[in-house]
Amino acid sequence: MTRPRPHLRAVSGADDPDPPVSDADLLRSIALGGEMGLRELWDRYGRAVLGVCRAELRDPTAAEDATQEAFTRIWRSAGSFDPARGAASSWILTVARNAARNVARSRKPTEPLGEHHAVGDEHESRVADRFWVEGALAQLSPVEARYVRMSFFDGLTHSQIAASTGTPIGTVKTRIRRALGRLADLEERR
């Protein structure tokens, strides 16, 4: 028999005995030293963070290391999260991507990429994919291509793109959504 998990209370201290706790509230709780907040965040995002790390690293062991590093960074820097700059989920996944990139940089060049990947095949596949992506981006409008690059290559949130370009956030979201739709159409024809 499993013990029921204690519920976290929202940082706001509402009278509701079990108010829903937002991701931003969890981050505020973690910033104040709340270990339960970190456990809840792990339950919500552990798989997604591991997925981001696996996608970046393509090595299960390195991905697990990066996931651990990501949650350590979240623990240490939760107080730096600013909800005005974007969603907590975006911030968490950006921390994960940066942790994975840090692990990738720290790995020795002689370490294998993974058990199921041949170095030559992996490199050729990445080169071919990169050429395809560049060609596909060239078929978008310059503004859409720029926003896709800012979002997916530079890791900026929609709010950060809006602030950087002086464009309303709704317009940024619409342009990225349209661009991704066009890229998906191009991928189907590939």
User: What is the residue extent of each domain of the chain?
Assistant: 19-108, 118-190
Model pTM greater than 0.75? no
Rounded Cα–Cα distance for residues 81 and 84 (Å): 9
pLDDT at 1: 42
Rounded Cα–Cα distance for residues 82 and 61 (Å): 31
Which segment of 53-67, 95-109, 121-135, 161-175 scores lowest on mean pLDDT?
121-135
| Run of H or E including 177 | helix 169-189
Query: Domain 19-108 carries which CATH code?
Result: 1.10.1740.10
18 — pLDDT class (breaks 50, 70, 90): low
Rounded Cα–Cα distance for residues 133 and 124 (Å): 14
Q: Does domain 118-190 match CATH 3.30.450.20?
A: no
7 — pLDDT class (breaks 50, 70, 90): very low
108 — pLDDT class (breaks 50, 70, 90): low
126 — pLDDT class (breaks 50, 70, 90): low
**Residue 140 DSSP code:** S
Which segment of 9-13, 64-68, 86-90, 171-175 scores lowest on mean pLDDT?
9-13
Model pLDDT for residues 56-88, shown as the tens digit of each residue? 888 889 999 999 999 999 999 999 988 888 888
Higher pLDDT, 140 or 112: 140
| CATH topology identical between 19-108 and 118-190 | no
Based on its alpha-carbon atoms, the radius of gyration of the chain, rounded to whole angstroms, reads 20
Rounded Cα–Cα distance for residues 103 and 139 (Å): 34
Average pLDDT over residues 135-149: 85
Place of tokens 């907040």: 37
